[in-house]
Amino acid sequence: MTRRDMLFSAANGFGGIALSALMAQDRGLAATAGSPDPMLVRKPHYEPKAKNVIFLFMDGGVSQVDTFDPKPKLTAMDGTPLPFDDEKVNARNDVKVLWGSPFEFKKYGQCGAEVSTLFPHIGGCVDDMAIVRSMVTDNTEHTAGNYQMHSGFPIQGRPSMGAWVTYGLGSECKQLPGFVVIDTGMIPPGGLDLFASGFLPASYQGMLFRKGQHPVADIAPREPEPRIQRSKIDFIRTLDRGVQQRYGAVSEIDAAIFNYELAFRMQSEVPDLLDFSRESKATLKLYGIGEPETDEFGRACLIARRMVERGVRFIELLSPRRQGVDRWDQHGALVKGHGDNCKATDQPMAALIKDLKSRGMLDSTLLVWGGEFGRTPTRQGTPDRGYGRDHHPFGFTMWLAGGGTKGGTIHGATDEFGYFAVEKKVHVHDLHATILHLLGLDHKRLTYPFGGRQMRLTDVHGNVVKELLA
């Protein structure tokens, strides 16, 4: 080894030990400094309510006035011009006419929350849900909206929420990734960077589980004996460690070593995860498995429950893509599009809530539902095709369930047309701060040094929405 190599290696080693020690002191990590396991369970900042998160991401933008935010005046003024003008309002002429919801609303549960008949099964769960009718975001375009909902920023390259959570807490599951994305048909606009680790170490990026019998590529054993497979992995690790000694700490090399080990463990875990033979017929029926409309998303929701049982920290389910339906993005034919999507997701999501609750797991599992924005209360398109609605970030609905949230709660409100959030606005940064809080993490203290400053999921914004807490 040359003197240059020795100094380079030593500098990285001493620096890494010092940084690990400082991070452990600042965040109260249970891990020892320099631990090779990035998913080692770490202590939160304070006592958590939730241990795991299931993010039900409805890509495309769900219409709030057709699902969880009834507007009688909008229905009464159907077909009339929008009665106000504002610089925030889309100036296009084809979204200036009001359109009352073509769906009926009913009161459900002891709390009496009104929910569209599109969601009869979810309606039966409202006493376990905190419905936020005053969500706002900053973007009207899918890609930017998706990035902001996932990472807090409308641009590419920032760590996803799931990456932040696993960075802060690690994962109790050693046979599966800490952050898993279950794909049920289509990756949203923005691509795989929606689930990336950004400037965080690469080990925290989300792993995509594709639908079908082989959800993860390249984990099937290629050797007849585990002993041979094990020896190959050990040899690859030796080569990677040699590169590390020469070039110092490199996040991608650390992640590669970790992923080889993880893939070896997943070879036996993934088939068992997907094996529903030990699930009762009643459970399969509850999720709608075996039924054409609900089978796909029902399987994804059941897999999510089984992942939570195994300790996976953060699970994201992508909205299913049904034939002829482009996500929830109905600029036309909304009645059919939203109708089909609700049929595909309503029963499985309600089953997930009920199943977790029956097993005593709902209190420690936080469910978050919603898309990147809502939709206008005005109509778009032509009557021959069927009206739709445009993108709408000024007031829309999301809901949370379990994980320390206050069930039977309706938080905030939009105006009488469902256009602007007018009471108790909740920005995406506030939502992220609240999710981290429920996990025992202070969003102002969960930071990572990058670009000369301490970065965080909420940047310099965000307030915990205390009214949503049980």
Question: Along the 470 residues of the chain, how does pLDDT read in single tens digits?
Answer: 666 565 555 555 444 444 444 444 444 343 333 456 889 999 999 999 999 999 999 999 999 999 999 999 999 999 999 998 766 666 566 678 999 999 999 999 999 999 999 999 999 999 999 999 999 999 999 999 999 999 999 999 999 999 999 999 999 999 999 999 999 878 999 999 999 999 999 889 999 998 767 777 655 655 556 677 667 767 777 777 777 677 666 666 776 677 667 776 777 788 899 999 999 999 999 999 999 999 999 999 999 999 999 999 999 999 887 655 568 999 999 999 999 999 999 999 999 999 999 999 999 999 999 999 999 999 998 888 899 999 999 999 999 999 999 999 999 999 999 999 999 999 999 999 999 999 999 999 999 999 999 999 999 999 999 999 99
Identify any residues that bridge with 380 across adjacent strands, giving them in sequence order: 388
Of 239, 273, 307, the domain-final residue: 273
Neighbouring C-beta atoms of residue 453, cutoff 10 Å = 9
Residues 89 and 421: beta-carbon distance below 8 Å: no
d(CA 251, CA 260): 14
Residue-range definition of the domain harbouring residue 423:
43-215+292-468
**Token reading at 70:** 């009834």
| Helices and strands (DSSP H and E) totals, the chain | 11, 17
Asked if residue 166 is part of any domain, the answer here is yes
First to last CA, the chain: 60
Q: What is the pLDDT of residue 59?
A: 95
What is the pairing mode between strands 207-209 and 179-182? parallel
CA quadruple 256, 262, 267, 271: dihedral sign: negative
Asked if residue 285 is part of any domain, the answer here is no
Query: Do 316 and 419 lie in a common domain?
Result: yes
- Number of Cα atoms under 13 Å in the Cβ half of residue 33: 14
Asked if residue 225 is part of any domain, the answer here is yes
Asked if residue 279 is part of any domain, the answer here is no
d(CA 435, CA 279): 30
Asked if residue 349 is part of any domain, the answer here is yes
CATH number at residue 409: 3.40.720.10
Calculate the CA 10 to chain-centre distance: 40
Asked if residue 281 is part of any domain, the answer here is no
Query: Do 239 and 161 lie in a common domain?
Result: no
Of 228, 245, 273, the domain-final residue: 273
Q: What is the pLDDT of residue 25?
A: 40
Query: Do 336 and 319 lie in a common domain?
Result: yes
Q: What is the pLDDT of residue 320?
A: 85
Angle at which helix 334-358 crosses helix 295-310, to 10 degrees, equals 30
Query: Do 3 and 75 lie in a common domain?
Result: no
> Apex CA 293: angle with CA 401 and CA 117, to 5°?
55
Query: Do 93 and 26 lie in a common domain?
Result: no
d(CA 465, CA 398): 13
**Token reading at 157:** 């390259």
Residues 146 and 452: beta-carbon distance below 8 Å: no
Q: What is the pLDDT of residue 300?
A: 95
Query: Do 156 and 211 lie in a common domain?
Result: yes
d(CA 81, CA 69): 21
Query: In this structure, what DSSP letter does residue 115 have?
Result: E
Asked if residue 73 is part of any domain, the answer here is yes
Of 422, 434, 426, nearest in space to 135 by CA: 426
Structural domain count of the chain? 3
Helix, strand or coil for residue 168? Answer: helix
Asked if residue 439 is part of any domain, the answer here is yes
Neighbouring C-beta atoms of residue 189, cutoff 10 Å = 18
Query: Do 95 and 225 lie in a common domain?
Result: no
Query: Do 209 and 227 lie in a common domain?
Result: no
Query: Do 96 and 227 lie in a common domain?
Result: no
Query: Do 156 and 250 lie in a common domain?
Result: no
The beta-strand segments (E) located in 292-395 are: 314-318, 365-370, 374-375, 391-392
What is the pairing mode between strands 413-414 and 421-423? antiparallel
**Model pTM?**
0.87
Query: Do 104 and 201 lie in a common domain?
Result: yes
Query: Do 324 and 443 lie in a common domain?
Result: yes
Q: What is the pLDDT of residue 385?
A: 87
Residues 350 and 121: beta-carbon distance below 8 Å: yes
